[in-house]
Structure 1
Amino acid sequence: MKAYIAIAQALLDAGITEMFGLMGDANMLYAASYKEAGGVFVDALHEGASVSMADGYARVTGTVGVASVTHGPGITNALTAFTEAVRARTPLVLLCGDTPSRIPEHGQAFDLAAVATAAGAEYVRSTRAQFVLRDLRRAIRRTARTRRPILLNVPVDYLLEDVELTPTPRPIVEERLPLSDLESDAVDGALGLLVSADRPLVLAGRGVALAGAEESVVTLAGLLGAPLATTLLGRGLFAGHPHNVGLFGGLGTPVGERAIAAADCILVLGASLSRHTTEAGALLEGKTVIYCDADAANLARTDEATVAIQADVKGFVDLLIEALEAADARRPTSAVTEIAGEIEAFRPLAGLADQEQPGVVDMRSAVRALNEILPRDRYVVTDCGRFQRPVFRHLEVLEPLTFTHAVHFGSIGLGLATGIGASVADTSRTTVVIAGDGGAMQSLLELHTAVQRGLPLIIAVLNDSSYGAEYEKLGDYGQDPTHALYTWPDLAVLAEALGATGRTVRALADFEAVAGDIEAGRTPLLVDIVCDATADIKAY
């Protein structure tokens, strides 16, 4: 069969039942064949959005996301979103292709290898038509294993050549490092440091959820008499637990800040220990750090660990529990009992109502109002911007694997498409996208894609008529922050024009109408929440 038909079938054989993209000369033949063979091809309006959709899809499903764009401007348009996926370590394959060799001065010729290098992705170029299917299957398996996105170059020259398709259905399974090679002295060393610590604290990241280790970590913390904290991507772990002090880092609560400051030993489990989590290492300074993760790349990114162990997180934690119980080494609970009292007594946003202004809503109050009316069973995806602070603090996430953000590259405007990909992955739940007005304006036309597919998507725009981070930073530099103010069109009207439901909020009472829209299932729904750029939203 022709190579383009075989590519479509090979994708389906590999379990890729949804693909995201924008068709052009480099990919339209196999994209059309993929549709005809029963695959779901989600047509984006912009190539970058298609990559963000594949990124969001992969994050929600835990499987490989696949996007396809054309050469030249197609691939350059995709670069920002592709870089986000690389830095998020999303298993993703981006299919593209060189321009026809018979036209050496083709107007869309571009160096695909250079794009992959710039993004930090792996690059594979099929060198012959008969290698295309092999390279495609290898790319899917490899990105699932390494979590490093791959740009696969299938030159247009090969698409019309005849190839032989040998179906090889193969499930794409992410490998987890077993404990078989874990030396007992590594466990003994970690155990000794934990038992000798006066005030240990357990920091859990998304790897705990991926390993199914939450219950084991709670048991271990109880034996250690240690409070629990999470990374941003671990939000939702230990929800409602009386010893959960919340986020570890600059976004933490005052209770969490005190617990971290008092701790002399931090047990880090399944986290990347980014500079945001550790405040560039400052929060770990002078403390013993025991760090366990299944991902060697995470362990290699920090030098703050006293002991670093590459292992399956659940297996490691269970070994520690077994050793503590065998030695009957349960620690006193006075420290965590004290912390539990502080957590119970803590009242976020106390007195905030006194700061409300007519015609605008404080972002923190808005997020707390959203938290009450949004479906509890939801995915949450955030864009990038100043608004993140109240969202990360006040919008609850009940399960860490239902939360993600498009912030790894620091670009605004990627959140909506990422949320669309997440919603395509699972339409049984509502997907909630939180964005600022600048990011929303950059991406709002992609709402058309959500409308066309009838997705259960809610977009909440925290609209302070500014590029908020720049507004804040200009003021910090002593410059006039009003240079960052913008006048936008009516976002709710734009949403309605695109076929969605639009709603504007200028007072907390307006959320009652939003709740009615949600209850009635009027999605996709865009909620334009009018906020004040001058408000100081740094306080918890």
Structure 2
Amino acid sequence: MKNDPNYMSGAEIFFECLRRENVEYIFGYPGGAVLKIYEHLYDVDFLKHILVRHEQGAVHAAEGYAKASGKVGVVLVTSGPGATNTVTGIADAYMDSVPIVVFTGQVSSHLIGNDAFQEADIVGITRPITKHNFLVRDVKELASTIKKAFYIASTGRPGPVVVDLPKDVIASKCIFKYPEEVDVRGYKPTYKGNSNQIKKAAEIISKAKRPLLYVGGGVIMSGSSEELKIFARENKLPVTMTLQGLGAFPGTDPLSLGMLGMHGTYWANRAVDNCDVLVSLGARFDDRVTGKVETFCNKAYKIHVDIDPTAIDKNVIVDLPIVGDVKHVLAELAAEMINPPDTTEWLEQIEEWKNECPLDYEKNDGRLRSEFVIEKIFEKTKGDAVVVTDVGQHQMWTAQYYKYNHPRSNITSGGLGTMGFGLPASIGASFAVKDRPVVCISGDGGFQMNIQELITAVYNKLPLKIFILNNSFLGMVRQWQELFHQEKYSFTDLGNSNPDFVKVSQAFGIESYSTDNPNEVESLLDKAMSINDRPILIEFRVVKEDMVFPMIPSGASISDMMVKRLNPKRMI
């Protein structure tokens, strides 16, 4: 048996499984419990290990890679604190349905439960925030477990899977056999929608006077952007997108209404409030979209297409559910649409709303504004960049002012709203995308949460364009404090405690610039776009008191949408 070439250690089996899953990159950080794996990694040549500087950064990088490529992102960390440092990233991936597999080291099997050095029950800790997780008890189960992990992460509604690897399992040996097929009891995703329901949906859409497509991230995950474009254009159906759905339909298309919801466009939200048929494609009716559920889109007949049956009727009761993969359902729905609806008057009404309340900001006072910077980034990239944002005001302004023309171009933390996501996720995206610029837009608050990953970008010579919109505030929290908390700016003013971002980034070896002059924005962006062999960082010192509008207050109805500041005197 020992002379059999398939007689392998757990560490060897680990890499043979990754090879068969066509893994290109693994984002990780070594430690005691995974030293045997790193020993073998030293001689592995079919994948590249990316050394991050914090395990949370590893998971966000894997998310960025997965979102940009459509492939499974892979993470490797050690036990105890190495594993627990991944929790925020895993929760983020769970909320946004990102396919990643996180391998965590674990103490030897006989020590589990003994409070051994660097032991943590990562399976128990992550059970509520994973699609599934495994503790491998026997090396003979390792190959089949890894196969299942990749299958579960990438099929159906994608999501994170954790595989916990005890030290003795990694060191033990057995005959390696990789299963060709996977059979997970109770897990059978439905890909084809019910044909009768699809026919009924086509009939209802055909008769609609004011139809609206409400598109979520599921359209991008299923690779159905082309089907969506054909369906919307052939039937002249307006399209509004969630934050995660941006890019599923070209933002510059006349049928695009941009984003809906709390900070969605005025006309998208008015369209939602006045449509007679709402077709939800791969979206989950989350609270940032619906606001007050009782008043959300209550004039419309609601059709919901989703591969996850648990998402149907979870937040909003719909009239016609269709469980299935959006790509399959859209193709079948298009085939059934014999008579497209007459949307001429409806589109004219939407155009009136656009003219009634366009996206706008102060342009004539000589001060630098975030919206202006984002507009210029869009002009320079022509909507053809992969844009990774952190979380906060800059995230919402980017969603409003950057017109995404391609799927997998908008990478952001939606459901969990994780500050610190932007920089490591843009690093992951840079490994996935070679033919387009990768732009990281971050606020000064979130940027500091994973600032250590600058060295990862430098070491790997990634051509990242890092733009910090520095308003010296935790801007979105400040906005809520002004509007809803008596203007008590409690611990959100960072003006006296922010570092000099140029000096910090220069210490990491990054060419860096800073400006608060609108006239310098274009030339600095040109410089950033011209550098393609290393990262560059530009700090834009923007107006600190600006707020994101439109805004629907949390739990309020679309009719409560605010389109401007309540007290203009607050403009300093």
TM-score by length of 1: 0.90
131, 136, 143: which is aligned to 1:133? Answer: 143
Matches within 5 A, 1:138-287: 138-146=148-156, 147-166=158-177, 177-179=190-192, 182-184=194-196, 186-221=197-232, 226-236=237-247, 237-281=249-293, 282-287=295-300
Letter in 1 for 2:14: I
Q: CA deviation at 1:289?
A: 0.5
Q: Does 1:316 align with 2:329?
A: yes
378, 386, 389: which is aligned to 1:379? Answer: 386
Separation in 2 of the partners of 1:225 and 1:132? 51
Q: CA deviation at 1:398?
A: 1.3
Q: CA deviation at 1:163?
A: 2.2
- Tell me the equivalent position of 2:107: 99
Separation in 2 of the partners of 1:494 and 1:375? 30
Task: Give the SS at the match of 1:488.
Answer: coil
Q: 1:126 to 1:399 in 2, by over 3 A?
A: same
Q: CA deviation at 1:241?
A: 2.3
Task: Give the SS at the match of 2:173.
Answer: coil
Paired residues of 2:465 and 2:535 also in contact (CA < 8 A)? yes
- Tell me the equivalent position of 1:455: 462
- Tell me the equivalent position of 2:558: none
Q: 1:69 to 1:214 in 2, by over 3 A?
A: closer
Q: CA deviation at 1:381?
A: 1.4
Q: 1:343 to 1:431 in 2, by over 3 A?
A: farther
Paired residues of 1:9 and 1:34 also in contact (CA < 8 A)? no
Q: CA deviation at 1:20?
A: 0.8
Q: Does 1:364 align with 2:368?
A: no
Q: Does 1:435 align with 2:442?
A: yes
Q: 1:239 to 1:468 in 2, by over 3 A?
A: closer
Letter in 2 for 1:244: S
Q: 1:376 to 1:169 in 2, by over 3 A?
A: farther
122, 127, 130: which is aligned to 1:117? Answer: 127
31, 39, 64: which is aligned to 1:24? Answer: 31
- Gap runs ≥5 in structure 1: none
Separation in 1 of the partners of 2:39 and 2:381? 37
Separation in 2 of the partners of 1:290 and 1:132? 42
Matches within 5 A, 1:422-501: 422-475=429-482, 476-481=484-489, 483-486=491-494, 487-501=497-511
Task: Give the SS at the match of 1:158.
Answer: helix
279, 300, 306: which is aligned to 1:293? Answer: 306
Deviations along 1:306-331, one digit per CA (max 9) or x if unpaired, are 11011333443344443342xxx343
Deviations along 1:33-79, one digit per CA (max 9) or x if unpaired, are 23412121111100111111111111122121110111111112111
Q: 1:535 to 1:230 in 2, by over 3 A?
A: closer
- Tell me the equivalent position of 2:82: 74
Question: What is the number of equivalent residue pairs in this alignment?
Answer: 530
Q: 1:241 to 1:343 in 2, by over 3 A?
A: farther
Task: Give the SS at the match of 2:60.
Answer: helix
Paired residues of 2:211 and 2:275 also in contact (CA < 8 A)? yes
Task: Give the SS at the match of 1:445.
Answer: helix
- Tell me the equivalent position of 2:541: 530
Q: 1:496 to 1:131 in 2, by over 3 A?
A: same
Q: 1:457 to 1:346 in 2, by over 3 A?
A: farther
Paired residues of 2:207 and 2:341 also in contact (CA < 8 A)? no
- Tell me the equivalent position of 1:392: 399
Deviations along 1:368-419, one digit per CA (max 9) or x if unpaired, are 1222234743211111113222111002211132212123212211221111
Q: CA deviation at 1:159?
A: 2.2
Separation in 1 of the partners of 2:22 and 2:14? 13
Letter in 1 for 2:518: L
Separation in 1 of the partners of 2:188 and 2:413? 25
Separation in 2 of the partners of 1:105 and 1:194? 60
Q: CA deviation at 1:177?
A: 4.4
Q: 1:14 to 1:468 in 2, by over 3 A?
A: same
Greater shift in the superposed pair: 192-201 or 36-45: 192-201
Identical counterparts, % of pairs:
23
- Gap runs ≥5 in structure 2: 1-7, 551-562, 564-572
Q: CA deviation at 1:336?
A: 4.1
Task: Give the SS at the match of 1:152.
Answer: strand
Q: CA deviation at 1:162?
A: 2.1
Paired residues of 1:223 and 1:331 also in contact (CA < 8 A)? no
Separation in 2 of the partners of 1:32 and 1:300? 49
Paired residues of 1:447 and 1:498 also in contact (CA < 8 A)? yes
Q: 1:262 to 1:112 in 2, by over 3 A?
A: closer
343, 356, 364: which is aligned to 1:354? Answer: 364
Q: 1:538 to 1:254 in 2, by over 3 A?
A: closer
Q: 1:362 to 1:119 in 2, by over 3 A?
A: same
Q: 1:318 to 1:123 in 2, by over 3 A?
A: closer
Greater shift in the superposed pair: 385-394 or 449-458: 385-394
Separation in 2 of the partners of 1:530 and 1:28? 44
Separation in 2 of the partners of 1:498 and 1:227? 46
Task: Give the SS at the match of 1:238.
Answer: coil
482, 503, 515: which is aligned to 1:505? Answer: 515
Paired residues of 1:462 and 1:528 also in contact (CA < 8 A)? yes
Paired residues of 2:205 and 2:341 also in contact (CA < 8 A)? no
407, 413, 438: which is aligned to 1:406? Answer: 413
Q: CA deviation at 1:129?
A: 2.2
Separation in 2 of the partners of 1:335 and 1:137? 53
- Tell me the equivalent position of 2:569: none
Task: Give the SS at the match of 1:538.
Answer: coil
Paired residues of 1:471 and 1:483 also in contact (CA < 8 A)? no
Q: CA deviation at 1:219?
A: 4.8
Task: Give the SS at the match of 1:387.
Answer: helix
Q: CA deviation at 1:178?
A: 4.2
Task: Give the SS at the match of 2:33.
Answer: coil
Q: 1:314 to 1:136 in 2, by over 3 A?
A: closer
Letter in 2 for 1:206: G
